[in-house]
Structure 1
Amino acid sequence: MTMGMHRFEKQYNSAKIALWKSSLTKEDKESIELFLKDCKTRGVKYARLVKLCRTLIKMGSILETTYEKARMKAIKELVHHYVDGDYSEWARHDIKVIIKQYYAWLNKGKYPNHVAWINTTIKKQDKKLIYDGELLTRDEIDKAIEVCDHPRNKALLAVLAESGARIGEVGNLTIRQINLDPNGCVVTVQGKTGSRRLRLVTATPHLVTWLNNHPDRKNPYAPVWMNIGCKNYHREMGYGGIRKVIQNAFKKAEIKKRCNPHIFRHTRASQLAHYLTEFQMNTFFGWVQGSDMPALYVHISGKDLDEHMLKINGLKHSERPIYSKPKNRICPRCKQINGPDALYCAKCAEIVDPALALKIQMQTTEKPMQKVKTPFLEWLQKDPEMRDVLKRKADEFRGGDLKI
């Protein structure tokens, strides 16, 4: 059984050990462990269990009493500690949710009065947007991929950029979740809202090149992203390893922007907000239908406002072109999809570059013609009259520079 991208099961076990080593009372420790077991039984993922455990330990150390004995004054002081502290709006929101969730569990599903007052809604004006200048440009993405010196790293960045999937969804991919077809490939990812199919086109050549060189490519259950260095050789890459690949690529490409896997998701969502409906955005990015996330990225992209302002000012404005780059090259022999800069097919080595194919064809045609031309010219030059004719014609053509 895979332990997943972030090794959350291992982290969960470590968090429980930390719980019992903490300064909380025995009653609180036992209660929290029962709460975690109940959450696990209800299908809560290890990642969330780790968050719950660590947060309850931290909050318990701030409370001046036990969770069971805490009342309105103690809870208000706890909430104010986080509201007034240096925490993001989303971190404060999550802490409030955990407080209410835990006390509802203690109170058999109902919020007691001393936590019912806590408002977990984030106001629209408090939702921090990522600025357009912080997103990656197409040129920056292409450059980051280009500077990678291993096909695995090129494929990883290309898939993150085109899929816009969560790092856990991309990182947990196995070979059997990738299905190649004439249009590229379809990747089936497993996320928060279940599994979904993602169509990839521009990332396909890099992905195919890596899969052709994958050390365990014949095993459909093998992780797509395997370690290739000395440490944990041929084992599934962890979050730290993937982040390191991105950091190295950004450094080589001299990209001075946020350097984390999620920046690719932000960028892709902002790009597609111009073209997809909210329903399509929710489906593609794995958000529940009715989520306000699509509207957030439409706001970032300025999709509606830009177009209206240009019209108001009488500026000529054509429809925004869908992003396009040089087309992938399809091998005429095996139909393999290769990158736009490929000279030869990655699968069968057939020439896929039209210019190279024409050059080789011309060279192939010229060689037998040269065998005919050389003896024929030698024969003509033996005739004095023909030699004079050739000399005169050559002088006319080349300005008299040609010597015979």
Structure 2
Amino acid sequence: MRRRNELTEEEMKIIKKTISDDEAFDLFFRDCYLRNLRPATIEYYKNEFHAAKKFISIPLVECEQKGIEELILQSKKVMKITTINTRLRALRAFYNYLNKNKLIEKNPMKNIKLLRDRQKTIETLDNKEIEALIRVLRKKKTFIGFRDEVVLLVFLDTGVRLSELIGIEVDDVRDNKIIIRKTKNLFERIVYLSDTTQEQLKRYLMIRGYVETNKLFINRDNKELKPHSIQTSFSKYGKEAKISKRVSPHTFRHTMAKRMIMAGVDAFSLMTILGHSDMTITKRYVNLWGPDIEQKHKQYGALKGLKL
């Protein structure tokens, strides 16, 4: 029997130079290290790739657009839209790298868009809730309680991220400002402290004293403070203060942003203070506080004062 002239898809796969998932991962993460991506970003990629393989039955390097679409459909049954989009961003970075370096013929993410999701109002704390948190901390009369009061003041004064706060060293504190070195976008920036925070920080440094680590905030064993410890503690303080909202470092960052906006700070200055890479997220902050915008409209609306 005479052979067909054209090769089948299976035969073409044998001829084609292929790369395994492990080889692709090695190359991708090597590139991540060369670009000096944050360890947290690299860990995020690793976790998302591992999770994606549970939904895709073939090697990721062999996946086509239909495979990604099937992943989305299956994921929607068990995940929130934000979680799916987080996974899609990781896969997009992976396939873009492979396609750019000609390690795969087609990019399965080329025509895949992030899923539309409703923009939720970001929760922030009001004056009474902040004061209730401070009261809970002051009742403790412990080193940890006072340390966390200062941590709260720094969060609310500067809007720093949790990872940035953990990275602050004693030498980074300069009178009314702190140099933030461990930033998300690798650009150092300066944040400023109110008189209240300055005074409490000075008292904290006196009580802290000299310890082996140069990190500003330490635990009861005089060791470097861990992010999880701060998150867990403030969640517990929120419950003690009978605050129904989520109490977390991210909530403090949003609260700071809102208070600055309502005080009249311009978006560009806020972007610089918060360390945003572009104006996109800052604009979202400006547009999010519905009830406050409504109040401003009532106060300053164009028709106010007209006798019509």
Q: Flag whether TM exceeds 0.5 (same fold).
A: yes
Match of residue 95, structure 1, among 75, 87, 96: 87
Question: What is the 5 A alignment of 1:45-60?
Answer: 45-60=38-53
What residue identity is the alignment partner of 1:42?
R
2:265 is the counterpart of 1:272: no
Match of 1:129 in 2: 121
* Secondary structure class of the residue paired with 2:20: helix
- The 5 Å alignment of 1:162-311 reads 162-180=157-175, 185-190=176-181, 191-193=183-185, 194-201=187-194, 202-216=196-210, 222-228=214-220, 233-274=221-262, 275-289=264-278, 291-302=279-290, 304-311=293-300
The amino acid of 1:88's aligned partner reads I
Tell me, in whole angstroms, the C-alpha distance in 2 between the residues paired with 1:240 and 1:174: 18
Structure-2 separation of matches of 1:154 and 1:82: 41
- The separation in 1 between residues aligned to 2:60 and 2:289, in whole angstroms, is 45
Given that residues 273 and 301 in structure 1 are in contact (C-alpha distance below 8 angstroms), is that contact kept between their aligned partners in structure 2?
no
Structure 1 stretch 154-163 or stretch 71-80: which is displaced more?
A: 71-80
TM-score, L = length of structure 2? 0.80
- Indicate the residue corresponding to 1:146 in structure 2: 135
Change (3 A) 1:254 1:155: same
Does structure 2 conserve the Cα–Cα contact (< 8 Å) formed by 1:145 and 1:249?
no
- Partners of 1:42 and 1:296 lie apart in 2 by 29
The counterpart of 1:80, out of the listed 61, 73, 86, is 73
Q: State the 1:119 CA deviation.
A: 1.5
Give the drift of 1:203.
Answer: 1.6
Q: Supply the distance in 2 between the matched residues of 1:244 and 1:93 (Cα, whole angstroms).
A: 26
Q: Is the 8 A contact 1:271 1:301 kept in 2?
A: no
Equivalent pair of 2:99/2:107 in contact (CA under 8 Å): no
Higher-RCO chain (CA-CA 8 Å, sequence separation at least 6): 2
Q: 2:36 aligns with which of 7, 25, 43?
A: 43
Deviations 1:293-352 (A, max 9, x none): 22222223345543233345758xxxxxxxxxxxxxxxxxxxxxxxxxxxxxxxxxxxxx
**Structure 1 pair 113–256 and aligned structure 2 pair: CA distance change class (3 A):** closer
What amino acid is the match of 2:164?
A: E
- Tell whether the 8 Å contact from 2:125 to 2:255 is kept in structure 1 after alignment: yes
Normalising by structure 1, we get a TM-score of: 0.62
Pick one of 109, 115, 118 that aligns with 1:115: 109
Structure 2: state its 5+ residue gaps.
1-18
2:136 and 2:240 in contact (8 A); partners too: yes
Preserved contact between residue 173 and residue 223 of structure 1 (Cα < 8 Å): yes
Contact 1:215 1:234 in 2 (8 A): no
The 3-state SS of whatever aligns with 2:191 is strand
Aligned partner of residue 197 in structure 1, secondary structure? strand
In structure 2, C-alpha distance between the alignment counterparts of 1:166 and 1:273, rounded to whole Å:
18
Q: CA deviation at 1:162?
A: 1.6
- Residues 1:248 and 1:96: Cα distance change in structure 2 (over 3 Å): closer
The equivalent of 2:9 in structure 1 is none
C-alpha displacement of 1:186: 0.4
Rounded to whole Å, the distance in 1 between the matches of 2:282 and 2:204 is 32
Shift in CA distance, 40/197, structure 1 to aligned 2, threshold 3 Å: same
Displacement of 1:163: 1.4
Q: What amino acid does structure 2 have at the position aligned with 1:211?
A: L
Given that residues 273 and 294 in structure 1 are in contact (C-alpha distance below 8 angstroms), is that contact kept between their aligned partners in structure 2? no
- Total equivalences in the alignment: 273
Evaluate the alpha carbon distance shift between residue 53 and residue 203 of structure 1 in structure 2; reply closer, same or farther with a 3 A threshold: same
Partner residue of 1:106? 98
1:135-160 deviation digits (Å, cap 9, x = unpaired): 21123212312321332121111111
Q: Distance in 2 between matches of 1:87 and 1:304?
A: 29
> What is the distance in 2 between the residues matched to 1:128 and 1:254?
23
Does the CA-based 8 Å contact 2:24-2:61 persist in structure 1? no
Stretches of structure 1 that go unaligned for 5 or more consecutive residues are: 1-25, 316-404
CA distance in 1, matches of 2:81, 2:209: 42
Residues 14-69 of structure 1: CA deviation (Å, up to 9, x unaligned)? xxxxxxxxxxxx93223213311221111111001001011111112221211222
Measured after TM superposition, the shift of residue 243 of structure 1 is 1.8
Given the superposition, is the C-alpha separation of residues 304 and 263 from structure 1 closer, same or farther in structure 2, using an over 3 Å criterion?
closer
Q: 1:222-277 CA distances to partner (integer Å, 9 max, x unpaired)?
A: 1111111xxxx111111121123313432332222202221101111111112111
RMSD: 2.4
The residue type paired with residue 297 of structure 2 is H
Higher Cα Rg, which structure: 1
**Contact kept in structure 2, 1:269 and 1:297, CA below 8 Å:** yes
Letter in 2 for 1:251: K
